Amino acid sequence: MGDPLTLALLALFGLVGGIGITAVGPGGVLPTIGMFLLTGLSPAGVAGTAIATHVATGALGTAAYTRSGQLREPETRRTAVILAVAALVGTPLGVQFNTAVTGRAFGILLASAVAVTGVLVWARERRVAAAEKAARADGGAETEAGAGAARLPGWAAALVGLGVAAAAGLFGLGGPMLSVPVLVVLRVPVLRALAAAQAQSVVIASVGTAGYALHGAIDWRLAALVGVPELAGVIAGWRIAHAVPARRLTFALAATLLLLAPYLALHA
């Protein structure tokens, strides 16, 4: 399956990706990046193996945010349900598109998605910082969780869910990579966005795994190698999201994604 250094690096991509999934949202792309750069898998093999790791991480993330209360809130549950239903349609479209692209095209598309996500993460954090500043100026009447929040229309949640699921199916993502920054830009509070995205990721990962398994495109041993440390990262990331300000981690992730994007394009 590979030399020890490569295997260790893949496990590290899984661990850091898991932390990013529950702490800031977009970390799920890191296992896909690691497999694309470090293995000789086809685009379907990369995406299928990566998305298989997100079945367990999505379920664990959903349980964690249910425990901490976000998924018990009616508005968060409503958003999560709409995102999940849309994923039933969007994910198979992404899987089907993946099977039609070449390795070079997959690399270019992945680089583009990584760059867009980096920009979205940066924009998300800027919006959160502005909301917190406004709340402090108003005497701290609002917390970060509710500052500037607005009810997301159902049609908007459905469009986000469909687009995110199609991209997730194409690249082998769980969903939070794109849905969290997009939802926050649409004025959904960060913890609510993270919680809803975890629930959506269960559907995306389950449907995507089934689709890629039908194509025989999943390396189950590699999925376990990456997925086990990814699970450990999910718990660590959830604790980080609730215990410490994640702003530095978020900006570091955005910078990493923006730096990785041209590298991925050059190695496509």
| DSSP codes, 65-115 | HHHTTGGGSHHHHHHHHHHHHHHHHHHHHHHHHHTTS-HHHHHHHHHHHHH
Residue 48 has pLDDT above 90, yes or no: yes
CA-only gyration radius of the chain, Å: 17
Lowest mean pLDDT among 7-11, 66-70, 99-103, 119-123: 119-123
Range of the domain at 197: 4-266
Q: Are 48 and 127 in contact (CB under 8 A)?
A: no
pLDDT digits (tens, 9 = 90+) for 162-221: 999 999 999 998 777 788 888 888 888 878 888 999 899 999 999 999 999 999 999 999
More confident: 259 or 83: 83
**pLDDT bucket at 140, cuts 50 / 70 / 90:** low
Q: Are 65 and 21 in contact (CB under 8 A)?
A: no
Q: Give the pLDDT confidence score for residue 165 in this predicted structure.
A: 95
Residue 26 has pLDDT above 80, yes or no: no
d(CA 124, CA 184): 6
With CA atoms as reference, report the closest residue to 79 among 130, 147, 20, 149: 149
Question: What's 157-222 look like in SS3?
Answer: HHHHHHHHHHHHHHHCCCCHHHHHHHHHHCCCCHHHHHHHHHHHHHHHHHHHHHHHHHCCCCCHHH
- Mean pLDDT (the chain) is 85
Tally of domains within the chain: 1
* Total residues belonging to the chain: 268
Percent of the chain with pLDDT over 90: 46
DSSP, res 71:
G
pTM value is 0.82
Mean pLDDT of 130-143: 65
More confident: 263 or 50: 50
d(CA 256, CA 172): 19
Q: Give the pLDDT confidence score for residue 144 in this predicted structure.
A: 47
Q: Are 147 and 132 in contact (CB under 8 A)?
A: yes
DSSP for 33-68, written as a single string: HHHHHHS---HHHHHHHHHHHHHHHHHHHHHHHHHT
